[in-house]
Amino acid sequence: MRRRLVRALARPLVLAAATTVIPMAASAPAAADSIVVGGFPVDVGESPWTVALSSRDRFGGTRAGQFCGGVAVGRTTVLTAAHCMDEEILGASPDRVPDLRVIAGRTDLLSDRGQEIAVRDTWVNPDYDRVTNSGDFAVLTLAEPLPSDSVIAMAGAGDSAYRVGTRATVYGWGDTTGAGTYAGSLHAARVRVQPDTLCESAYPGGPGGAYRAETMLCAGEIAGGRDACQGDSGGPLVAQGRLIGLVSWGAGCGWTGSPGVYTRVSDIVRTLG
Ligand code: 4AZ
């Protein structure tokens, strides 16, 4: 039962569509005007490293099969969330999803701009912990290279971009309202790096996960309103031009007192060596 609830809070849109209301902790939705939630539309040219993960066989063609986000950190290397590669999401292990692709250079999912590139190999962090959500990252190797300007640098441990209060931007094609309204085009929201203590008290351990400062990053707005949401998982959180987080989990979207939880990129750097 516990595992079921973890997935219910941290799942991308495929399962979101099957459930109408998710019971959540005592927390109220903030005035979320719109997007990622609380964000604004952007052209992918402003963040060319932001990619969509797609399988039309699994998720249908209405949104080009988009089900998660990802971020290019090398010309053939894309990071995403480990939970995006779960069999529960994909219906099979990722190497058995023949049309698993990365869509790059496409703001509007239904346009034909940019490229769709096949995933040649998938590596899921073996230390990913489904109970806490710690270590929520996977590495995809692409069959063909992306343009060299479509790659973002990862912020290592000690990088000033991790400082509390730093302004950061999260990108994705996910839910813009928290009620299952998926974006057809890329959106971004501005948030700030929050103290680990905020997420430690918001997420001491519950159905959604447990905050771990070594492997996770806390970001959002104190008042709520601006946040990542379902369908954004695996996508980038960028500060000072460097990648600091991957969208991972949280209670609801944009709720007061429930910041977004991101995979801490310095832990990915450390793991990948
Ligand atoms: C999800 O289910 C999800 N508000 C991603 C991010 C957040 C919540 C849920 C953070 O993919």
Work out whether the CA dihedral 15, 21, 26, 28 comes out positive or negative: positive
For the record, the structure tokens of 85 come out as 């590669």
Could you tell which of 253, 258, 262 is best to mutate to test the pocket of ligand 1, judged by most ligand atoms within 8 Å of the CB?
253
Q: What is the pLDDT of residue 204?
A: 98
The Cα–Cα gap between 83 and 213 comes to 19
pLDDT tens string 227-254: 999 999 999 999 999 999 999 999 999 9
C-beta 247 within 6 A of ligand 1: yes
Nearest alpha-carbon partner for 101 in 83, 91, 115, 87: 115
- The pTM for the full model equals 0.90
Distance 1 CA to ligand 1 centre (A): 19
Q: How far is the CA of 11 from the centre of ligand 1 (A)?
A: 7
Distance CA 92, CA 34 (A): 33
Domains of the chain and CATH, by start:
28-41+154-272 (2.40.10.10), 48-150 (2.40.10.10)
Task: Find tokens 């928290």 and name the residue.
Answer: 178
Assess contact for 233 and 81: CB atoms under 8 A: yes
* CA nearest to 184, candidates 272, 88, 73, 63: 63
CA dist 90 and 97 (Å) reads 7
- Rama region for 231: left / alpha / beta (φ>0; ψ in -120 to 50; rest): left
pLDDT digits (tens, 9 = 90+) for 14-67: 333 333 222 233 333 444 333 468 999 999 999 999 999 999 999 999 999 999
CA distances to 11, 15, 147 from 237, rounded to whole Å, are 18, 24, 21
Q: Which of 218, 247, 255 to mutate to test the pocket of ligand 1 (most atoms within 8 A of CB)?
A: 247
Q: Is 56 helix (H, G, I), strand (E, B) or coil?
A: helix
Q: What is the pLDDT of residues 137-182, one digit of tens each?
A: 999 999 999 999 999 999 999 999 999 999 999 999 999 988 999 9
Look at residue 85 and tell me whether its pLDDT is greater than 90. yes
Q: Does the beta carbon of 233 lie inside 6 Å of ligand 1? A: yes
Cβ of 216 less than 6 Å from ligand 1: no
Is 263 close to ligand 1, i.e. is its CB under 6 Å away?
no
Catalytic residues: 83, 136, 233
**Best mutation site among 19, 136, 217, 229 for ligand 1 pocket (most ligand atoms within 8 Å of CB):** 229
**Cβ of residue 227 lying under 6 Å from some atom of ligand 1:** yes
